[in-house]
Structure 1
């Protein structure tokens, strides 16, 4: 991947400043183009056409210019079609965009397979086109100021152009409810993310945005189970092959779980080079997956590189991590990626594959079972009775996992916090009234309405509750993880590719009958796929999902330096004191931080927002 930026005015000083702030994304080359109407900047991480891919890039007569972050995986097929009418000067995937635009205009985006964010300037029409891949793997932010559009792969270059870092309280409310601001909002007032699968067109100081992709067909495949398994395998294999398109070596993040292990199993069949896998260990046996990763690596005869992450390393790098995230997400997974990507870079790699996205496609979250069970309970029993039982159970200790699970199911059945799917809520509805000082009903309703719009999609047939939950998670749970994952990985110039998130595989997976998504175990189809095509050893096929978040609970319990830093940052923050009743927060959540993973997770989220405020509000982010 790379870094792109631009301003709809001629401003050499501003564009050079923006390029400087994106150097970490593309440390190998940079360039800019300026005319009377536009300034475009680019920093390059060279992956395809190492020698000839300099950007910005133009067509034969210099009338159309392009900058791109990411990869167009099907560029060779597209090039074959375009060569009949166009002259190519490089072997780069970026040049394909120019000639596709000349042929098809804005409709070009529907031809692309890949992960990308790009800008095309048409000097003849005085039109700027911005676009982003269907799942939002590559970031794109923008703002409008003084009748100018400013855009960038990251937020810091926008702030460097005189945009004040003010808080977007709608984005903050969304963070405190759903763990992150919800597209297109960010935590910064007036700065937005271009939504995934969208095109923005700027002309005559006005802009329009339209969606070019979504899932439209949810009707189940009318095929036998074995044929569906074969179809998913061939779709995934095609996606892995595309993800291996590179002029530099490709590695893989290997957790030891089923998702990344299946990708490795296919990769080992399709990739002719030696494979290096990368695993992160926390050094605690009860939460560690490295032994499973070793089994998978040995099964596929690949090199396994293991990084052990100590809490002291996290403590000493927290400012840099939050600064890289810019617009934080209340989760711990991105912290893992920050250190793992630095480890990958130290081993000489700059491209890795990931197993991310499988849970949303194939029903991998335990929360989906909870939703389906809650639905059955709510259909059988009166709401008043369910709520009464819920309030009784809610008084149980937080460190009893079974009770916590029952409480969650009863909560959903009671009608509290609608659209709770895989546990992606930060503060629950009844907690918000006690703990938070800054959220009113109107703000809360607007946040929920965004989720409701997707959950109530009329193209999803009635009774398809699991599909609705997965659809919401695909749009609102995984996408913040992808955009933040990009930024912490690109802090060390490492590009992550997601074979499960090929849009053709997504469209097919949402047509798998619900009965085959969760059948005895989560992700039934891909477990059967791994078994049928002998991609994994049996002990991996049958194992349950193990998340990275549990490290938080252990560190809060066993590492005083880590716990003291997090809690002191929260209590010392004037911003947090204005936003949260700390006495109630301590009584309801903080006192259980060493006993409950969920409370540890939420405490971490409050800490991150305090850090964010300090770095971007009090200090000057451009000088950090």
Structure 2
């Protein structure tokens, strides 16, 4: 991973020495992406800034790279995984001056011209200066894993790996694009397949499209785009049977892991406990790649068993596993959240990104020489990882019905006058074919439209945040599942084989079954922090937004443009709803709105540059050798196991009331904020008998005597009631 930036005249003029200061500032802001080396170049119409994180040829892979005859110069961010294979394909006598994986791109361009990226595998963003042709070429990998942004006017263009660097140039506007942001389906979690291009969130800031080469004439600014790959790609020799698909998928994944795990520096792996990261770990271990693995240990990952499964996988494979602890009392400060938000540059900044950012920070401190991190990301998107959840308890047919409905919803957005025909119930009065005709949409395969939506989604969210959360600690994120050969193969599965291969990621599960314990290979998909542990994460967010009297919300609402676009009362009401119901997704929408305002303010204020070495304290880790034997310790550490003592005095939480009727002495009703939520009767006598005795004055010891039970008998009930926010036990949980 590196940081790249450039300034170029596109009106036929040359840069003067006045741009040197801007190039230096670009390098400073991008230093966290490349803490090992910094190089600047200004010559004629082009100025380049490069910061390097060395993973390949640390002694000889410096950039900019220039051909012997001086005709071509290149800076690149990322990795060309098949660079040795590509170098071997060059004409006899071609001399490689370095061991850099990116040098081969210069020779490929000289030999093949605009087709120079056709056979390249990897993740990269490239700025190539063709001196003889007077052109600048900009390119990104097929999935946009590596970022490249630009702002241009009539006379010049400025480019950078991160948008914050562009704002150092006085000619780049520093305005948040409220209109585009609020109509971006990804931000509103709209249940449709969006065809909107990836947004940068800021006015007059653009991204080089994924899978595309942009060619810019430096003597007039004429620009042309040349896509060298488009989703879903094509493959030769499509397998005939399900077994053939599985066999080829396994071979390609093993090859992708081998390529991603090849480096001249230490690598690690995020191990979630799911089959995706477990498969990457197993394939890397089978190739004797030494890896330290890192896992989030929180109340949420304890409850959904992610942390425990990660420990088991690492133990079986003989890999060290760091269980990075997020206790129940940990809440990010306003300053921490703003630093993360500015690092990621997206209002989609979320708890998932926060957890991963903290994992990277821990990894960098625990393993100072670590340079790269393998991930299990992007398997769900193309291997059917969301099929079971979207089917709502049904099967593949129900999944495809849901996809058709999402396709229809997207089409009706363009023709709202047709929506009433689908306004009542699931069975509309028009056929999908009629909707397609009336909206002018070409009929298509809903599953392929779904995949195309996932392709856009990973660019807007997944690879965006994986790149930034790693870069903030001077680490490069590597994503084996985004080898284009794997994605093309999964997309080529014919309709009659999809239920066998793409229902619940069977193409992957069957492919790695021999490498993993059966229960790991077959383990159902568990969302990162959703499920039984969701309230713990949501409470962390609500407490962050409540802190200091809601200072973050106030700051967001006072940002440029916020008064026009944001309803202050509505934002605060969402927070109140989230506080009242820790399972409500209202907090995620409220957080996104706050992120909008904070980004708008930070674009004007320009916070300090990110440091590649983590500053401040990092999360601790918990050594777990025997999960079953240390369960009590783990529960206590994550804030799930109360330290029960006879002297504690339980009390009902605010807003919780117990109600009964004289005629129903054995039946009680539990009301929360005036609404009856639970019925307590003979089906759950322990809950009823305990709660009816809680008065805020009687100690736990006296209640135990009255109920004739022990602390261990009552522990599950007390934990459940406190976890649901119905009962308070002051002093029971670790501070």
Matching of residue 317 in structure 1 with residue 336 in structure 2: yes
User: Which residue of the partner structure matches residue 528 of structure 2?
Assistant: 548
Secondary structure of the 2:519 match is helix
> Structure 1 residues 410, 468: closer, same or farther in 2, change over 3 A?
closer
Matched residue, 1:446: none
Q: Deviations over 1:567-611 (max 9, x none)?
A: 542355134453233444555675146333532322221222222
- Distance between the aligned counterparts of 2:400 and 2:480, measured in 1? 37
Establish whether residue 41 from structure 1 lines up as the match of residue 49 from structure 2: yes
Deviation at 1:199, TM superposition (A): 0.8
Contact 1:143/1:151 (CA < 8 Å) preserved in 2? yes
Distance 2:498 2:332 in 1: 37
Task: Kindly indicate whether residue 264 of structure 2 is the aligned counterpart of residue 247 of structure 1.
Answer: yes
Following superposition of structure 1 onto structure 2, how do residues 70-219 of structure 1 map, counting pairs within 5 Å? 70-82=78-90, 84-162=92-170, 163-175=172-184, 178=187, 183-203=197-217, 204=219, 205-214=221-230, 215-217=232-234
1:289 aligns with 2:306: yes
Structure 1 residue 164: deviation in Å?
A: 2.3
- In the aligned structure 1, how far is the partner of 2:235 from the partner of 2:55? 36
Q: 1:537: Cα distance to partner?
A: 0.8
Aligned 8 A contact 1:263 1:355 in 2: yes
| Cα distance in 2, alignment partners of residues 309 and 358 from structure 1 | 26
More displaced 10-residue stretch of structure 1: 551-560 or 346-355: 551-560
Moved more, 155-164 or 370-379: 370-379
Q: Are 1:488 and 2:454 an aligned pair?
A: no
Residue 488 and residue 216 in structure 1: after superposition, are their counterparts in 2 closer, same or farther (change >3 A)?
Answer: closer
Counterpart of 1:278 in structure 2 is 294
- d(CA) in 1 for partners of 2:303, 2:251: 36
Q: TM-score with structure 2 length normalisation? A: 0.70
Question: If you compute each CA radius of gyration, which structure gives the higher value, 1 or 2?
Answer: 2
Conserved in 1, the CA contact under 8 Å of 2:187 and 2:592?
Answer: no
Distance 1:84 1:411 in 2: 53
1:350 and 2:371 matched? yes
Q: Distance in 1 between matches of 2:545 and 2:207?
A: 33
Distance 2:305 2:589 in 1: 22
Q: State the distance in 2 between where 1:199 and 1:216 align.
A: 16
- Alpha carbons 1:229, 1:528 under 8 Å: kept: yes
Task: State the TM-score, normalizing by the size of structure 1.
Answer: 0.81
> Residues of 2 paired with 1:456 and 1:283: CA distance?
49
CA contact (8 A) 1:312 1:562 kept: no
* In 2: Cα distance, 1:71 partner to 1:410 partner: 35
Task: Name the counterpart of 1:448.
Answer: none
Q: Contact 2:186–2:457 at 8 Å: present in 1 too?
A: no
Q: What is the alpha-carbon distance in structure 1 between the residues aligned to residue 393 and residue 209 of structure 2? A: 27
Instruction: Give, in angstroms, the shift of residue 274 of structure 1.
Output: 2.5
**1:536 and 2:519 aligned:** no
Q: Does 1:334 align with 2:353?
A: yes
CA distance in 2, matches of 1:27, 1:106: 32
Q: Does 1:473 align with 2:454?
A: yes
Corresponding residue for residue 434 of structure 1? none
Contact 2:5 2:48 in 1 (8 A): yes
Q: CA deviation at 1:513?
A: 3.4
Alignment CA distance shift 1:555-1:354 (3 Å)? closer
Question: Which one is further off, 241-250 or 251-260?
Answer: 241-250
1:197 is displaced (CA, Å) by: 0.5
CA deviation vs aligned residue, 1:492-536 (integer Å, no higher than 9, x gap)? 1111111111011111110123455455951122112222xx121
Mean CA deviation greater in 174-183 or 40-49: 174-183
2:567 corresponds to: 581
Please give the residue correspondences for 1:565-580 in structure 2 after superposition, counting only pairs within 5 Å: 565=547, 568-572=551-555, 573-575=557-559, 576-580=562-566
Distance 1:579 1:330, change over 3 A: farther
Gaps of 5+ in 2: 10-14, 414-418, 421-435, 611-735
Does the residue aligned with 1:61 lie in a helix, a strand or coil? Answer: coil
SS at match of 2:40: strand
1:24-72 deviation digits (Å, cap 9, x = unpaired): 1100001022111100110000010010011111110222111010000
RMSD: 3.3
Q: Is the CA contact 1:419–1:469 (under 8 Å) kept in the aligned structure 2?
A: no
Q: Could you say if the C-alpha distance between residues 218 and 143 of structure 1 is closer, same or farther in structure 2, counting changes exceeding 3 Å?
A: same
Q: Which moved more, 1:560-569 or 1:23-32?
A: 560-569
Q: Alpha-carbon deviations, 1:309-350, whole Å to 9, x = none?
A: 356463251121011012332533222221111122121311
> In the alignment, which of 583, 603, 606 is matched to residue 596 of structure 1?
583
For 1:287 and 1:568, the matched residues in 2 are separated by 33
Find the aligned partners of 1:192 and 1:603 in 2 and give their Cα distance. 27
Alpha carbons of structure 1 residues 139 and 623: separation in structure 2 relative to 1, 3 Å? closer
Count of equivalent residues: 557
Query: 2:486 aligned with 1:505, yes or no?
Result: yes
1:262 aligns with 2:279: yes
**Structure 1 residues 558 and 165, CA gap change in structure 2 (3 angstroms):** closer
- Assess, with a 3 A threshold, how the Cα gap between structure 1 residues 255 and 518 changes in structure 2: closer, same or farther: farther
Q: Which is bigger in relative contact order (C-alpha 8 A, separation at least 6)?
A: 1
- Asked if 2 retains the 8 angstrom alpha-carbon contact of 1:8 and 1:37, the reply is yes
Counterparts of 1:467 and 1:27, CA distance in 2: 41
Give CA deviations for 1:215-252 in whole Å, capped at 9, x if unaligned.
24499955222111111111111111111221112221
Q: Using the TM superposition, give the Cα deviation of residue 210 of structure 1 relative to its aligned residue in structure 2, in angstroms.
A: 2.5
Q: What is the CA-CA distance between 1:254 and the residue it aligns to? A: 0.6
Larger mean CA deviation between 140-149 and 594-603 belongs to 594-603
Please name the residue that 1:449 is paired with. none
SS of residue in 1 equivalent to 2:33: coil
Tell me, in whole angstroms, the C-alpha distance in 2 between the residues paired with 1:302 and 1:622: 37
Structure 1 partner of 2:318: 301
- Check conservation: 1:282, 1:288, Cα contact below 8 A: no
| 1:526 partner SS | helix
TM-superposed deviation, 1:91: 1.0
Deviation at 1:548, TM superposition (A): 2.7
CA contact (8 A) 1:330 1:602 kept: no
